[in-house]
């Protein structure tokens, strides 16, 4: 039977580890890569949200905003984050204002989520005691954007699947009727009018599939 003095430290260590993990995003944990398993490419929006959480964590530990940004960059292994913050990091190291025109101009040329991410760091450096709150709200907004985008992709995939099923059903039904019914076969292929109807139906089916695919891809 183990002594109480040998059990308590293990319980405390497990509780502290679980508490640290509970405060991190599931996408920011470096899971071990098993043999034969491919690791998913991290989403840039979730990487930006996790980076803002890291900056907020260092800020709460007593670092300045510039020091928190530099420490979070060192912890991050995302090349997208490092390349996107190239100009902002230069201003952090030299002591230049974070809301300089060069930083804002560089953010304007970035994708929408990355531009929002950079502007959130600039807004957090505006002064006052609301830097941590601004970082938390920006991180929440980025995760909300990612969730909405994923839900939109799911509905688009469902629409594409339904369009495929509805476009294949007439073809399968027409082929079966042509094979099993001689009158239908003669109506389809016995004269120019029937052939014209078949060609027109196939063309409209193809156009409808392409049109539906174009509509759903525009939501991505």
Structure confidence by residue, pLDDT tens digits, 186-218 = 887 877 888 888 888 888 888 888 887 777 766
Among 53-62, 69-78, 184-193, the least confident range: 184-193
Structure tokens at 41: 């490419």
Q: Is 40 exposed, middle or buried (0-12, 13-18, 19+ CB in 10 A)?
A: exposed
What is the pTM for the complete model shown?
0.63
Q: Are 91 and 97 in contact, with CB atoms under 8 Å apart?
A: yes
Contacts of 51 (CB under 8 A, 6+ apart): 72, 73, 76, 78, 81, 117
Helix H, strand E, coil C: the string for 87-145 is: HHHHHHHHCCCCCCHHHHHHHHCCCHHHHHHHHHHHHHCCCCCCHHHHHHHHHHHHHHH
What are the C-alpha distances in Å from 117 to residues 45, 69, 174?
9, 12, 54
Contacts of 68 (CB under 8 A, 6+ apart): 54, 55, 56, 57, 58, 59
Among 56-65, 70-79, 138-147, 159-168, the least confident range: 159-168
Segments making up each domain of the chain, as ranges: 43-149, 150-217
Among 65-74, 123-132, 138-147, 167-176, the least confident range: 123-132
| CA gap 74, 82 in Å, rounded | 9
Q: What is the pLDDT of residues 101-154, one digit of tens each?
A: 888 888 888 888 888 988 889 888 876 668 888 899 999 999 999 999 888 888
Q: Taking Cα atoms as reference points, which of 185, 204, 205 lies closest to residue 195? A: 185
% of the chain residues with pLDDT over 90: 10
């Amino acid at each position: 039977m183990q002594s109480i003095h040998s059990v308590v430290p293990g319980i405390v260590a497990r509780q502290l580890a679980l508490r640290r993990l509970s405060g991190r995003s599931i996408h920011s944990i470096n899971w071990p890569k098993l043999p034969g398993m491919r690791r998913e490419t991290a989403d840039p929006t979730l990487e930006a949200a996790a980076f803002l959480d890291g900056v907020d964590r260092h800020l709460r530990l007593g670092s300045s905003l510039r020091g928190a940004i530099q420490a979070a960059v060192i912890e991050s292994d995302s090349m997208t984050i490092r390349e996107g913050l190239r100009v902002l990091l230069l201003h952090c190291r030299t002591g230049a204002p974070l809301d300089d025109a060069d930083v804002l101009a560089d953010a304007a040329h970035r994708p929408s989520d990355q531009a929002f991410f950079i502007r959130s760091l600039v807004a957090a450096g505006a002064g006052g005691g609301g830097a941590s709150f601004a970082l938390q709200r920006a991180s929440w907004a980025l995760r909300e954007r990612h969730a909405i985008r994923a839900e939109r992709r799911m509905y688009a995939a469902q629409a594409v699947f339904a369009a495929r099923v509805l476009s294949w059903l007439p073809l399968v039904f027409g082929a079966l009727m042509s094979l099993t019914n001689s009158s239908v076969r003669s109506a389809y292929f016995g004269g120019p009018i029937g052939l014209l109807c078949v060609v027109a139906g196939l063309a409209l089916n193809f156009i409808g599939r392409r049109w539906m695919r174009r509509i759903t891809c525009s939501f991505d």
